[in-house]
Amino acid sequence: MTPLSDTAAPAPESPRLGPACAVVFMVFLGLYLYGNGWHSLWDRDEPRYAVATQEMIRSGDFVIPHFNGSIRYNKPPLIYWVMSVPMRLLGSNEFSARSAQAVSGALAVAIVAWLGGRMARRRDCAFVAAAILGFSPLMTLVAKSSTIDAVLLLLIVACFALHWQQRSCGFAWWRHGLFWLLLGLAVLAKGHIGLMVVGLAVVCEGFWSRWRPPVGYVPGSWRVARTALGWVVLLAVAAPWVVLAWLRTDGEFLRVILRDHALAHAATAKESHRGPIVYYLPVLLVASLAGLPAVLVGAVTAWREARAGCPARRLLVCWFLPTFIMFSLAGTKLPHYILPAVPPLALAAALSWPAVSAGVWPRLMRTGAVLGALVGLLAGALLCVAVVAVPFPDAMIPAFVAGLIVALGSAVAAWLWWQPRATLALTANAAALLSLWIVLLPWGLPALEPLRPSKVVADWLREHAPPGTHLMAVGYQEPSLVFYWGRPVDMLGKNEASTAIERLARTSQPAALLIPAERWQKWVERGGDDIPCSATVRLSRRFYQFQKGGWLDLMVIGNF
């Protein structure tokens, strides 16, 4: 993973990109922060990361993350370290839990804008790359979620930006060290994923350049020694935590990450998250919705120009293809996994923007316009149908408005792409996607809050239950309950109602049991003689399970 040339190439003339990238960062930081505190955390990943950060701050143990009092083996600790900063400053709430991701997402878009401007040597191309990536529905969703993916993407695009600088401007030791330091942080963020995305791209580019040298290629020297030194830097970053985690858990933390996450996710579909090998093709269509015709033109020209020896396009092809193949072959598939493959598509579109603006590829442009219109119309229709199929009266109007925005915006943009009037079309797509979030965040998602159990139940208990109440849950295992309760929750299996009732009867402290009404009624009908006189139904309400689908009647049984 070293630059292709030891000899500094002549510095290309490039416009000043600093002010433009600062504007890009501020615009997307505002978008990604907007409305983050107006709706509760979505199960299951968001509250798992947030609770682990809460417990890390509370315990002062920044080595081994915990969730609900038990070790959380799923991820290394970098994400919790990063999330702990806004949580310490702003308190433990939805906004602070999502703030680190918003900042990371905005920085990633700004770096991609800078990279697009450097590669194309045009300021307008920087804005094109930023618009296609930044307004991508997938990118926006990830940057507004309390998960790891925005932070990992920032580290990945920063590595590629440094690698391109080494490639285009010549070798510099500070860039070399920073590149490997960021790779070490990527290992602390999500294990092998960032290392594989960057490593496969750079290795493929190196082999391709030896087979068919690109324009200006000069064989490097001391490559092995520099790479070995880079691995030393990576190990210096990652090894201290690896050693501490190994010692603290007798090696179990590392074994679980490798066995149950790295290998198992690659070989099998974990938690039923499976899909066909073409799973990510429609995901990328939706992810590229802000500029789909430009992305199609960029992909075709990137492949042609890469084969002809263009270094920039060659890097983008080597970035995209191995990443896409790796995630497509993996057994476990989720839409946001493919996010590292979206920046090279945005950059390819930016590099081809002069041709797109001139309408050089009319057939591809019109194909992209039709696809964009179909995707937008389908997404708009699904928003409208969803609230009719599962009636949520308070959310119907905002859902219909959001659906119309997406459908009409995509149709108008498709007509403009067809002309072609590329700048107006890209602006129309961006405006439609921005309007979608402006409608959904203050209007649509808050309308669903009374139907979501965890925050409603936790708020009710804090208001009505005595201080120090012990909370148990049977048949409702959502991690968000732990976040909103703010303390460990005694989670029991769906068939352990008797055990929970026995604990409720024996305990001398205030206690509450959250249980589905159906299970409570079945237990009572079987002869609930062990119910203490003080234990009665304190709350009974109907909610909706957005993760599983279907209505759920929940009861709170309390002895207070």
Mean pLDDT of 466-489: 94
Q: Which among 358, 386, 402 is the end of a domain?
A: 358
**127-186 confidence digits (pLDDT tens):** 999 999 999 999 999 999 999 999 999 999 999 999 999 988 888 999 999 999 999 999
Q: The whole model's pTM is what? A: 0.93
pLDDT grade for 515, boundaries at 50, 70 and 90: very high
* Residues 351 and 473 placed together within one structural domain of the fold: no
Residue 545: which CATH number? 3.40.190
* Residues 405 and 526 placed together within one structural domain of the fold: no
Stretch (H or E) spanning 371: helix 362-389
Yes or no: say if 541 and 497 are a contact pair by the CB < 8 Å rule.
no
- Dump strand ranges (E) for 26-170: 66-67, 70-71
pLDDT at position 171, please?
A: 87
**333-363 confidence digits (pLDDT tens):** 999 999 999 999 999 999 999 999 998 889 9
Q: Say what the alpha-carbon torsion angle 225, 230, 234, 240 is, to the nearest 10 degrees.
A: 50
**Is 490 a member of any domain?**
yes
Close Cβ partners of 462 (under 8 Å, ≥ 6 residues apart): none
**Is 4 a member of any domain?**
no
* Residues 423 and 505 placed together within one structural domain of the fold: no
pLDDT at position 408, please?
A: 94
pLDDT for residue 218 is more than 70: no
* Residues 347 and 336 placed together within one structural domain of the fold: yes
Closest CA to 342 of 112, 45, 106, 1: 112
Mean pLDDT of 197-208: 94
Percent of the chain at pLDDT above 70?
A: 92
* Residues 514 and 443 placed together within one structural domain of the fold: no
**Is 296 a member of any domain?**
yes
**Is 342 a member of any domain?**
yes
* Residues 338 and 416 placed together within one structural domain of the fold: no
Q: Which among 358, 381, 397 is the end of a domain?
A: 358
* Residues 121 and 251 placed together within one structural domain of the fold: yes
* Residues 313 and 383 placed together within one structural domain of the fold: no
**Is 178 a member of any domain?**
yes
pLDDT at position 529, please?
A: 56
pLDDT at position 269, please?
A: 58
Note the helical H segments in 390-452.
Answer: 393-418, 422-439
Question: Which of 94-108, 213-227, 307-321, 387-401 shows the lowest mean pLDDT across its residues?
Answer: 213-227
CA distance to 125, 135, 380, 409, 478, per residue, from 373 (Å): 24, 16, 10, 9, 37
Alpha-carbon span 377 to 371, nearest angstrom = 10
**Is 8 a member of any domain?**
no
| Amino acid symbol at 98 | R
Alpha-carbon span 83 to 26, nearest angstrom = 20
* Residues 203 and 346 placed together within one structural domain of the fold: yes
pLDDT at position 2, please?
A: 42
- Domain total in the chain: 3
Percent of the chain at pLDDT above 90?
A: 72
Mean pLDDT of 422-442: 94
Mean pLDDT of 250-279: 76
pLDDT at position 215, please?
A: 55
* Residues 515 and 443 placed together within one structural domain of the fold: no
Q: Which among 429, 449, 469 is the end of a domain?
A: 449
Mean pLDDT of 396-419: 93
Question: Which of 73-82, 312-321, 482-491, 493-502 shows the lowest mean pLDDT across its residues?
Answer: 493-502
pLDDT at position 169, please?
A: 87
**Is 188 a member of any domain?**
yes
* Residues 400 and 384 placed together within one structural domain of the fold: yes
* Residues 420 and 539 placed together within one structural domain of the fold: no
Range of the domain at 105: 18-358
Q: Tell me the average pLDDT of the chain.
A: 90
The two three-digit tokens of residue 270, written as one number: 């974990």
Provide the β-strand partners of residue 558: 512, 536
Yes or no: say if 535 and 559 are a contact pair by the CB < 8 Å rule.
yes
**28-68 confidence digits (pLDDT tens):** 999 999 999 999 999 889 999 999 999 999 999 999 999 99
Mean pLDDT of 69-97: 95
**Is 9 a member of any domain?**
no
Yes or no: say if 117 and 14 are a contact pair by the CB < 8 Å rule.
yes
